[in-house]
A and B are shown apart, each in its own frame.
Chain A
């Protein structure tokens, strides 16, 4: 930026040598410039040229590499079993319609509904249970910043004085809200249970693991309960109040002390705001119990929902997703397709260019000879 000031800077150096030499001039007067490679712009340099000769093989190599990777990805993605069921209860016919209709914030009795479904295939490995929300803008700016990370990190001061960012969910009455902010306030609180309807008529409740669903670093470092370890959370949170929309205070989220308070994994998962308005979040993990039986055998199931979470006011949808996982994550054909297409485009281009180059090259040579 300096030079643009030079006009105002037309000042002088009234020194012995006088002449106000500008940018880097003066000092080199009457001195022979050094003959170094750098100063003479003669640094040894690699001067690559992208010619058809070098680029064409690259096209082929990319093509040959990407297509198999793409196929692999696509097959992997296809092998992932995924089942998705919408239990919002928009249609009259759906089991949760009444719950959705009659929702009220201060209803004392929780509304429950059972959604039956059928799995066509057995799910062999660990099954991951997600809840999905649509048209829910967890990435809205006002929402994203409405949290106090320092409070969640167990800072006592922030517990009493939540950050201003939490407004209007910072204080209720005169008491500070813990955890404060819109994100915490709107935590997903439907509870979902899976019942396997055994063909022999018995109903088997599928055991759901509620841990291991949040990032390890979040659970162990980023989120921490206030107070020393193993202190009674009830005492620690005394003087704070639960978020307005919560039915229970934060220290009653789970009976397990390692999964209670701020380090409750459901809470942590919710606090990681989703990127897009339609998202899924990990809810439970169904561990594979034995090598003989599939985790979820083929057959009829019932999803038992305690319907606490209203979404119809903003035209949202709620889904339950059962999915197995591969090394690439959940089911997503995009990567496979993308790799295959890019790979084939490269390959095709390679072929086309080879032909063009051949023709052009010849013509060019001919032209040169005729010169």
Chain B
């Protein structure tokens, strides 16, 4: 990780294979590289304590508590340092233990990796040594199913064709086999190999590697071979299907791509956390002002009663400077009241989040039987954010759609071929195209076959080997062929089903598999690639062999890929397929129009289209292309650019043969999910790299656009319509749409801000990548800001927005734009592919779909779910509940500490502002840790104010908590007022009782500790019962914890007061609690005060009841027998959120 800096110094590194000097006569200076030790751990035994403590105290809250603790130690403060030291110690220890344990696990894992025995070839002998000892340049031997110990260049494979198969499941999660190639033409005995490898400095991109290998033979000029990612075996990948390989280590230890790839994700913070911090500031202000008031009053009071004879100051106090005294008094008051900012809240919030996230992983509704996986939680910090989402950005392919491609039809030379169900079969073809149907025309057989060959050859699909040996497989295919021949019929697609199933295809994109399978249906079967020879089985059951010369890989900029093959007859052909927009300029124009019609029609039907073209290359052309390609591949610098240039030069002047249409089916319940999410008040934006027509039809299919939705289009097409410059046109269009969507929209009433569906007119907005970049980066700064604003306003007034032709970075840009717009709405991105990673990382919440496009999205997401449909439950049920739980938790925590500390503050007015604590130190310490922490934790884990079924059914309930509804200032003020009211009741109730402290029937009197204990008892009971009142979902755990902590309080008080504790200086509470219970008056006052405190709560329930929720409750009770009980929400939510949201 820290080696990144090296790149600036030297651009490449040179590796001496087998540590032999090369060329042999030159002196060999062993270069210095790091060893192969993996250090992922953070601490060692020695630095754990200081380093961990330092890191913990970097956190502002911990630091604050440390300061309080230190003040208690240094200054003469009313409470012993234990009261704040113990909780702090607890928190720090728990965190340290957790981190220590995690680090120990890392150490263990490191050790396992580092001490793993590997075979290294040294001077022709095999030596077993520890993985950590591998040096760059070592030749390492790896056997089947082993993990590569470092990044290796593949030199030798046990397979004849110089390939090996690996799985990279632990790197990017893709479990399919990938083929890697040996460096061509090496000595079979590596002992005599003398070569150097020159390659780039370590960099984290898993899929990029450039290098060059110089092979020295008999002191001739060295042979040079280019090295690419296909030669590089990554540490962490597993060798499959290959008995053993030998490779030379190029990157070791922390410089391997795997190690470089693990970098911490940036921390996302939830809106609730921001609210907590705001509330903390308020409480800090209360704390400081309380301390200030008390300090001031103390000195005013002391003017009169400075030092009565019975209570003289100590010598030390007399000697202290007046101002210093004032300051320490201030600090003492701070310490006395510091419990108002609870340490334990952080612990509880943390625990709630951590434990709460288990419910997501445990949810069996998220389990997908197909992939045998459930949901994955990568961070527990954002649980509640799931309940606050306002904008959803979704990818199309793989997210809205299944990314399960099905070949639907193709068009050859402008004639449409649709694959039927075998009903009207005609040579495997059936023509059912509407317009063309009448004529029953077909393209020439030659063209057909050329097209199908192109489909069979132009791809990077590989055949997955089943467990049986390759030879067997070939036999089997032969058998199939024989059966076919015996059958004497043409290739019947039904017949090809068995081999289809057994021959799994592996490809980088599912489209390719669909195409290969499509070709198979029409009689051309791809049999596999064997040592650069592609075999296809044609309609006549003959195996055709083509020599694969070059693959011009697919890339998202070029949007096409090609292969160059040499047929048996020696013809050199280039087959190319790609997106229509990128193909049409590269082909001869005669064919374009006829095919364009089909492509566009297919696109509107929601199919993914690809155009196929070919080109004959004569020997001369080929020779040039070949040379260019080789040269570009050997380049160490700017290889990509050079390759691209060559590709573009080769792929010109092609002949368009046809087009294919592949259907990407919608995900299960995509439409229902979208409907529910929109009903919940979320705006759904589709961001896709696909083209507009396809994306639009998907939007219609999943109900984002409806029939009556008026579409506002801002694409290159509409921009070029007017004939004026694009910039002007953009300006006009934006203004026009703005007028339509924003200004003419009916004025939105205050109460129904989020229910835009009331407006009879729905707008949908479509923008493409090019137009977006014009909006975002307009030529002049003021313009661009204005455009951005217009754009945002239009989008915010549209039901759905579709952004097509987006580059990954543009997706992130859009998310960022919305995220930073007015009101800072909470955004959620959902996607499944590597191209969605940027937007997943950018949004407040990133959701990964465990789709077919690898694991990049899942790894970078905050939550991963198997299917889009799970998003509904994740947001509407889990998100809603988590939000309500945590919001209540936060409010309750502040409330309970306010009414805890307020009596202590009031007591200062009666004890001469002397910082005398009202409660005993044990109570001060235990209040937050033991007596009141468990019920709220249980509540915040289990509460279901509305049961999950109802939440899922009535998506509008989600709107009740939108915009952080339960943590608004109004509600915070309510809780604060409640806390103050309770504090006043507790303190003054007991104060009046103590106007005559003779409370026992034997005339004996109570002292100050009894006073405090009575207040504390009322406090603990009221606070717990208040929570009990708010609890709407009483499981046995709630019962156990609520009544349990009350019982524990009583038990503890007896215990604590029952013994003369030898380690205590003061036996303040000795039998105070028992004596209190022996007094009837104390019992009566406790009961009275608890009831009086809870009375307003109960009153509110009754007063608020006849409003909105009441009606709703009745409605739902009619339909669902379960819901009437559950639709009651906590009193406070109801009181406030309804006021703002319901319009009844």
Q: Which residues of A contact B (CB under 8 A)?
A: 1-26, 28-35, 39-41, 43-52, 55-56, 58-59, 62, 66, 69, 73, 126, 128, 130, 136-150, 153, 163, 165, 167-169, 182, 185-186, 212-215, 217-218, 221-222, 245, 269, 272-277, 279-282, 285, 310, 313-314, 323, 325-332, 334-335, 338-339, 342, 345-346, 349, 353, 356-357, 360-361, 363-364, 367-368
Report B330-373 residues with CB < 8 Å from chain A CB: 346-347, 350, 353-354, 357-359, 361-364, 366-367, 372-373
> B170 an interface residue at 8 Å Cβ cutoff?
yes
A13 in contact with B105 given A18-B171, A52-B1102, A130-B998 (CB within 8 Å): yes
Question: How far is the CB of A310 from the nearest CB of chain B, in Å?
Answer: 7
> B944 an interface residue at 8 Å Cβ cutoff?
yes
Give the CA-CA distance A296 to B1080 in the complex, in Å: 26
Residue of B nearest to A349 (CB): B1099
**Chain B neighbourhood of A52, CB < 8 A:** 1102, 1105-1106
Residue of B nearest to A28 (CB): B361
Residue of A nearest to B1126 (CB): A47
**Chain A neighbourhood of B1124, CB < 8 A:** 49
Question: How far is the CB of A43 from the nearest CB of chain B, in Å?
Answer: 4
**Chain B neighbourhood of A148, CB < 8 A:** 1065
Residue among B102, B103, B1102 with max Cβ neighbours from chain A (10 Å):
B1102
Q: List 13 A-B contacts (CB under 8 A).
A: A5-B59, A14-B38, A33-B361, A33-B366, A39-B362, A137-B311, A144-B1008, A218-B1070, A222-B1067, A275-B994, A332-B1081, A334-B995, A342-B1088
Question: How far is the CB of A104 from the nearest CB of chain B, in Å?
Answer: 12
> B1037 an interface residue at 8 Å Cβ cutoff?
yes
A2: which of B95, B944, B1008, B1064 is its contact (CB, 8 Å)? Answer: B95
Find out whether the CB atom of B997 lies under 8 angstroms from the CB atom of A274.
Answer: yes
Give the CA-CA distance A24 to B353 in the complex, in Å: 11
Query: 4 other contacts beyond A49-B1125, A269-B1005, A314-B305, with CB at 8 A cut-off?
Result: A11-B102, A169-B312, A273-B1009, A368-B1114
B1102: which of A35, A62, A69, A353 is its contact (CB, 8 Å)? Answer: A353
Find out whether the CB atom of B1001 lies under 8 angstroms from the CB atom of A327.
Answer: yes
> B314 an interface residue at 8 Å Cβ cutoff?
yes
**Chain B neighbourhood of A327, CB < 8 A:** 1001, 1080
Find out whether the CB atom of B264 lies under 8 angstroms from the CB atom of A10.
Answer: yes
**Chain A neighbourhood of B1079, CB < 8 A:** 329
Residue of A nearest to B1031 (CB): A48
Question: How far is the CB of B304 from the nearest CB of chain A, in Å?
Answer: 9
Find out whether the CB atom of A222 lies under 8 angstroms from the CB atom of B1060.
Answer: yes
Q: Which segment, of B453-461, B464-472, B541-549, B1090-1098, faces chain A?
A: B1090-1098
Find out whether the CB atom of A34 lies under 8 angstroms from the CB atom of B310.
Answer: no
> B992 an interface residue at 8 Å Cβ cutoff?
yes
Find out whether the CB atom of B1004 lies under 8 angstroms from the CB atom of A142.
Answer: no
Residue of B nearest to A34 (CB): B362
Find out whether the CB atom of B1128 lies under 8 angstroms from the CB atom of A47.
Answer: yes
Find out whether the CB atom of A12 lies under 8 angstroms from the CB atom of B1060.
Answer: no
**Chain B neighbourhood of A218, CB < 8 A:** 1070-1071
Find out whether the CB atom of B311 lies under 8 angstroms from the CB atom of A186.
Answer: yes
> B779 an interface residue at 8 Å Cβ cutoff?
no
Question: How far is the CB of A110 from the nearest CB of chain B, in Å?
Answer: 18
Question: How far is the CB of A265 from the nearest CB of chain B, in Å?
Answer: 10
Question: How far is the CB of B1070 from the nearest CB of chain A, in Å?
Answer: 5
Find out whether the CB atom of B996 lies under 8 angstroms from the CB atom of A24.
Answer: no
B313: which of A8, A142, A222, A360 is its contact (CB, 8 Å)? Answer: A142
**Chain A neighbourhood of B1002, CB < 8 A:** 212, 325
**Chain B neighbourhood of A136, CB < 8 A:** 308, 310
* 6 A-B pairs with least C-beta separation: A10-B264, A18-B170, A186-B310, A330-B998, A360-B1106, A12-B262
Find out whether the CB atom of B1005 lies under 8 angstroms from the CB atom of A280.
Answer: yes
Question: How far is the CB of A233 from the nearest CB of chain B, in Å?
Answer: 21
Find out whether the CB atom of B99 lies under 8 angstroms from the CB atom of A9.
Answer: yes
Q: Which segment, of B13-21, B107-115, B242-250, B745-753, faces chain A?
A: B107-115
Find out whether the CB atom of A274 lies under 8 angstroms from the CB atom of B1098.
Answer: no
Residue of A nearest to B369 (CB): A32
> B315 an interface residue at 8 Å Cβ cutoff?
yes
A10 in contact with B263 given A182-B312, A328-B1084 (CB within 8 Å): yes
**Chain A neighbourhood of B366, CB < 8 A:** 33
**Chain B neighbourhood of A32, CB < 8 A:** 364, 367, 372, 374
Give the CA-CA distance A39 to B947 in the complex, in Å: 15
Find out whether the CB atom of A167 lies under 8 angstroms from the CB atom of B314.
Answer: yes
Residue of A nearest to B1110 (CB): A364
Find out whether the CB atom of B374 lies under 8 angstroms from the CB atom of A23.
Answer: no
- B1118-1144 interface code vs A (CB 8 A; 1 in, 0 out): 000000111010010000000000001
Residue of A nearest to B858 (CB): A19
Q: Which segment, of B221-229, B586-594, B806-814, B911-919, faces chain A?
A: B911-919
Find out whether the CB atom of A368 lies under 8 angstroms from the CB atom of B1111.
Answer: yes
**Chain B neighbourhood of A55, CB < 8 A:** 1098, 1101-1102
Find out whether the CB atom of A186 lies under 8 angstroms from the CB atom of B912.
Answer: no
Question: How far is the CB of B880 from the nearest CB of chain A, in Å?
Answer: 12
**Chain B neighbourhood of A126, CB < 8 A:** 1003
B364: which of A22, A40, A149, A339 is its contact (CB, 8 Å)? Answer: A40
Give the CA-CA distance A313 to B109 in the complex, in Å: 76
> B1000 an interface residue at 8 Å Cβ cutoff?
yes
Please classify the interface of chain A as helix (H, G, I), strand (E, B), loop, or mixed, using the class held by over half of its residues: loop
Find out whether the CB atom of B1081 lies under 8 angstroms from the CB atom of A14.
Answer: no
Q: Which residues of B contact A (CB under 8 A)?
A: 38, 40-42, 55-56, 59, 61-62, 78, 91, 94-95, 98-99, 102-103, 105-106, 109-110, 112-113, 147, 169-171, 173, 236, 258-259, 262-267, 305, 308-317, 346-347, 350, 353-354, 357-359, 361-364, 366-367, 372-374, 376-381, 855, 859, 910-912, 914-917, 942, 944, 947-948, 989, 991-1012, 1029, 1032-1038, 1060, 1064-1067, 1070-1071, 1074-1075, 1079-1081, 1084-1085, 1088, 1091-1092, 1095, 1098-1099, 1101-1103, 1105-1106, 1110-1111, 1114-1115, 1124-1126, 1128, 1131, 1144
Find out whether the CB atom of A15 lies under 8 angstroms from the CB atom of B109.
Answer: yes
Give the CA-CA distance A50 to B1106 in the complex, in Å: 12
Find out whether the CB atom of A2 lies under 8 angstroms from the CB atom of B98.
Answer: yes
B1011: which of A40, A59, A275, A282 is its contact (CB, 8 Å)? Answer: A275
Find out whether the CB atom of B993 lies under 8 angstroms from the CB atom of A334.
Answer: yes
Find out whether the CB atom of A330 lies under 8 angstroms from the CB atom of B1003.
Answer: yes
Question: How far is the CB of A308 from the nearest CB of chain B, in Å?
Answer: 13
**Chain A neighbourhood of B42, CB < 8 A:** 9, 11
Question: How far is the CB of B40 from the nearest CB of chain A, in Å?
Answer: 5
Find out whether the CB atom of B350 lies under 8 angstroms from the CB atom of A1.
Answer: yes
A274 in contact with B916 given A55-B1098, A334-B995 (CB within 8 Å): no
Question: How far is the CB of B1016 from the nearest CB of chain A, in Å?
Answer: 13
Give the CA-CA distance A139 to B918 in the complex, in Å: 10
Find out whether the CB atom of A346 lies under 8 angstroms from the CB atom of B1095.
Answer: yes
Question: How far is the CB of A206 from the nearest CB of chain B, in Å?
Answer: 16
Residue of B nearest to A309 (CB): B310
Find out whether the CB atom of A137 lies under 8 angstroms from the CB atom of B914.
Answer: yes
Residue of A nearest to B315 (CB): A168
**Chain A neighbourhood of B1003, CB < 8 A:** 126, 128, 213, 282, 285, 323, 325, 329-330
B55: which of A5, A20, A279 is its contact (CB, 8 Å)? Answer: A5
Question: How far is the CB of A319 from the nearest CB of chain B, in Å?
Answer: 12
**Chain B neighbourhood of A51, CB < 8 A:** 1101-1102, 1105
Find out whether the CB atom of B999 lies under 8 angstroms from the CB atom of A48.
Answer: no
B1088: which of A46, A140, A339 is its contact (CB, 8 Å)? Answer: A339
Find out whether the CB atom of A62 lies under 8 angstroms from the CB atom of B350.
Answer: no
Find out whether the CB atom of A46 lies under 8 angstroms from the CB atom of B1114.
Answer: no
Question: How far is the CB of B987 from the nearest CB of chain A, in Å?
Answer: 11
Give the CA-CA distance A58 to B245 in the complex, in Å: 81
Find out whether the CB atom of A2 lies under 8 angstroms from the CB atom of B312.
Answer: no
Residue of A nearest to B173 (CB): A19
Find out whether the CB atom of A185 lies under 8 angstroms from the CB atom of B310.
Answer: yes
Give the CA-CA distance A260 to B366 in the complex, in Å: 77
Give the CA-CA distance A356 to B1104 in the complex, in Å: 11
**Chain A neighbourhood of B377, CB < 8 A:** 22-25
**Chain B neighbourhood of A212, CB < 8 A:** 1002
